[in-house]
Structure formats: C-alpha cells, structure tokens
Amino acid sequence: MKILVIPSWYPSEKYPNNGVFFKEQVKALKKQGIDITVLCINIPYRKTPKEFPYFKLCHCVEEGIEVYRFCLPPVGIRHFSNIYYFLLRKIAIYLYKRELQNKGFDLIHAHSFISGGYIAIQLKQKFGCKCVITEHSSKILLHQLNDYEESILKKCVENSDIFISVSNNLKKAIENITGEKKKILVIPNMVNCIFSFKEKMQKDFIFASVGNLIPLKQMNYLVEAFSEAFKNQKNVLLYIAGDGPERDRLNQLIVKYQMQKQILLLGEISRKEVVRLLQRSKVMVLLSKVETFGIAYIEALATGNVILGSNNGGINDIVNKDNGVILDSLDIESIVRGLKKIYVNYDLYNPKEISMLCKENYGSEKICSQLRCEYEKLINEK
C-alpha cells in the first residue's frame, strides 16, 4: 500500500514541534508496513526565519520517509484567499505531474482543508486520485473562516472519498458550516508511545501545563488561579512548558503574585523533555478557549496525569470523572475550586489505570488500524 500524505504544516529542523502529530502518525503508519511519502506545500508565517529556498522543490529522506517540500515567500498572500488557492492549485498540479504521478500511490491522505485538503481535492479532480481528508483546524471552532474558506471546506467534504474529523465536536461544527449530510467519520489523533507511565515518586505536588503561550490557551487564568489556590504552599508547584507572545505577561503576573518559587516558565522544550515533565507531574491543566482535539490531554493521560480543562470541545471526548475535571465556567473562582478539588481528592484517582485506558483508546496501533481499515476499503472499491 502506497500513500501520499499532504499535511497543511509539517515539522522541520528549526521548528520540530510544528505539526509533530502529523509526522508521528506518518511514522506509525510506516511501522505498519505502509509505504509513505510526504508532500508539504507551505507559505511560512512572516516572523519565521527562512529555512527552505522559495519556489524550489526540496526532496530529502527524514527518518526513512521521503519528504517533498515547496515553500512560497511570506508575502501576506494568505489574506487574499482567491489568489492563495489559485497558486496552491497550480503549484500542486505541476509538482505532482512532474515528480509524483508515476510513483503509483493508492491514495492521498491530506490533513486540514486549509491547504492540504484543498490540494488533495485538486489532485483528485485532475488525476483521479482517491482522497482521504482529516480535519484539525481550530479556525472552524473559533468561527474564523471567511466565506471563501467556508466554500473550500464544503468542497473538501463533498469531493473527498473519506472525510474524517478528530473529534465529535469538530464534526458537528463542520456539519453546521457546510450543511453536508455526508457521513463524516471520527478518528482521533494518536498518542506517541514515548508518553509512558512511571510511578509518581516526587514529594512535591506538581501541576503541569503544556501549550503555546498565546491568548487562545488562557495561561494567564491558570497563573492567577494557581497563585490564589496555593500561595505559600511550597510543595505545590506549577511548571508551564511552551513559548509565545504571552510569556512576558505571564512573567509579570508571577512576579505580581510573588510566586517565583512555585511557578516556573520552562519555555519551549523538546518532546523528550515534555515526556519527563509529565512523568513527574500529577495533574495537567489546559484551559484553552477551544481545542479541536487536544493532543496535550492524551499525552498527559498516557503518563498518568489527572486532567483539569475547560469545556472547549476537544476535551469532551477524552476526559471523564475517572481521569479529570472539566470546568464549565472559566472565572478565577471556578478554576481555583477545580485546582483544589483535584489536589484534595488526588488519591481517589488511579494514575496507572488512567495511562492504560488512554493507550487502549489512543495508542498508535489502534488509530493506525482504524486508518488502515478505511484505506483498504477505499482502495478495494471499484
């Protein structure tokens, strides 16, 4: 079985965490014996340093996987949807015809309609490729799509052979926007096997939070509520892993509440460092406005953490009374109550069982088996 994967973004040497879940799924599928090639056509964001030459196809082998990259310059073209998608179509058809058409792919699996899914539909219409699209975009839940993007999403749902959502909440939002009655499958993201359980032996009670320091993640609420809940309890700590434009603001809050000894901003850390952090922590807190799925939640569960999260959509398929608490309100008082509730009742949870159930539901073998089953049905259709 030969699959061309077209992600809308993909990790690189300078940005190893950018879409790392796409790469981890590709590697897991390869382990199952599927021949995978990746094509990423990308327009970098303005503030990111140039990493690949513009208007040139770069080809390399990354961890045994063929990867083709084509980058356009960050000239603000994303704001002009009709031009952006016209260019994507022209470039995708040209590159596929020149480099990929004769490789004998059984199907294309694209991730996120915003570019990968659109490209896959264009290749299907031009070359007759069978096409699977998995949707991840938080812009859908945030109601941030313009009219043109909504029309592209609808075309992706209508014209794909299989359309997958990573959560039930995202599925409902897609159905509401597109009005499509076509069956949308729900197949969640997978958790990498490196997120494994270790007994929580630390004397300190560690809360962790993992995510970009952007307004969407609402880390300021966590810092304020944690400061109120645990000030002067020196054995109760909060480690925040991630970086972004909110970092200075968070630092100021930590100083304001005199919590420098209890709250630590770790900055952006590697995947292995995230694993080590979550193996030490007892609770993972993430209070995002929206999550299409919430990979950070399943990574935390896989390492035996209890979850405290906001009612943000993605969390609803993942967290229940046995592995965490979902907050319906995000005022500081409610967050304080949630933090204290888990802290006081922590011994009622079973971290080892939390980890085991997470691996059963989101482990790479299960998710890859589901995808392989859908691939095989599609390939065998006449």
Encode the chain in three state secondary structure. CEEEEEECCCCCCCCCCCCHHHHHHHHHHHHCCCEEEEEEEECCCCCCCCCCCECCEEEEEECCEEEEEEECCCCCHHHCHHHHHHHHHHHHHHHHHHHHHHHCCCEEEEECHHHHHHHHHHHHHHHCCCEEEEECCHHHHCCCCCHHHHHHHHHHHHHCCEEEECCHHHHHHHHHHHCCCCCCEECCCCECCCCCCCCCCCCCEEEEEECCCCHHHCHHHHHHHHHHHHCCCCCEEEEEEECCCCHHHHHHHHHHCCCCCCEEEEECCCHHHHHHHHHHCCEEEECCCCECCCHHHHHHHHCCCEEEEECCEHHHHCCCCCCEEEECCCCHHHHHHHHHHHHHCHHHCCHHHHHHHHHHHHEHHHHHHHHHHHHHHHHHCC
pLDDT at 237: 98
Using the predicted structure, report yes or no on whether residue 46 has a pLDDT greater than 60.
no
The predicted structure's pLDDT at residue 38: 98
> Do 234 and 126 share a structural domain?
no
97 and 113 together in one domain: yes
pLDDT at 77: 62
pLDDT above 90 for 377: yes
Q: Are residues 11 and 130 in the same domain?
A: yes
41 lies in the same domain as 134? yes
Q: What pLDDT does 18 receive?
A: 84
pLDDT tens readout for residues 53-105: 888 899 999 999 999 999 887 766 667 778 889 989 999 999 999 999 999 99
| pTM of the predicted protein model | 0.92
Quick one: pLDDT at residue 53?
A: 82
**What pLDDT shows up at residue 16?**
83
Same domain as 324, residue 293: yes
Query: Is residue 299 within 8 Å of 278, Cβ to Cβ?
Result: yes
Residue 82 counted as domain residue = yes
Helices 20-31, 364-380: axis angle to 10 degrees equals 70
pLDDT of residue 372: 97
Written in H, E and C, the secondary structure of 37-102 is EEEEEECCCCCCCCCCCECCEEEEEECCEEEEEEECCCCCHHHCHHHHHHHHHHHHHHHHHHHHHH
Q: Which domain holds residue 76?
A: 2-188+364-380
pLDDT exceeds 90 at position 212: yes
In this structure, the answer to whether residues 215 and 301 fall within a common structural domain is: yes
Q: Are residues 113 and 257 in the same domain?
A: no
Residue 84, pLDDT score: 85
With respect to residue 133, please indicate whether it lies within any of the assigned structural domains. yes
In-domain check, residue 200: no
Q: Are 378 and 185 in contact (CB under 8 A)?
A: no
Would you state the pLDDT for residue 49? 62
Residue 265 has pLDDT above 90, yes or no: yes
The CATH number assigned to the domain holding 240 equals 3.40.50.2000
Phi and psi of 181, rounded to 5°? -100, -5
176 and 239 belong to one structural domain: no
Q: Are 129 and 8 in a shared domain? A: yes
Mean pLDDT of 20-44: 92
pLDDT of residue 181: 76
- 168 with 238, same domain? no
Tokens at 196, concatenated: 């494994």
Is residue 175's pLDDT more than 90? yes
Q: Is residue 193 part of a domain?
A: no
**Tell me: the pLDDT tens digits for 334-354?**
999 999 999 999 999 999 999
Check if the beta carbon of residue 59 is closer than 8 Å to that of residue 67: yes
Residue 49 to residue 52: CA distance in whole angstroms: 9
| Residues 177, 168: Cα–Cα separation, whole Å | 14
| Number of domains within the chain | 2
Q: What pLDDT score does 47 carry?
A: 58
Does residue 267 form part of some domain?
Answer: yes
| Residue 332 domain flag | yes
Residues 275 and 175 in one domain: no
Same domain, yes or no: 271 and 373: no
- Fill in the amino acid letter for 91: I
Q: How confident is the model at residue 119 (pLDDT cuts 50, 70, 90)?
A: very high
pLDDT score recorded for residue 51: 77
Residue 264 lies in a domain: yes
Is residue 85 in some structural domain?
yes
Residue 322 contacts residue 306 (beta carbons within 8 Å): no
Amino acid at 201: M
Q: Residues 207, 283: contact at Cβ < 8 Å?
A: yes
pLDDT of residue 292: 92
* More confident of the two residues 259 and 201: 259
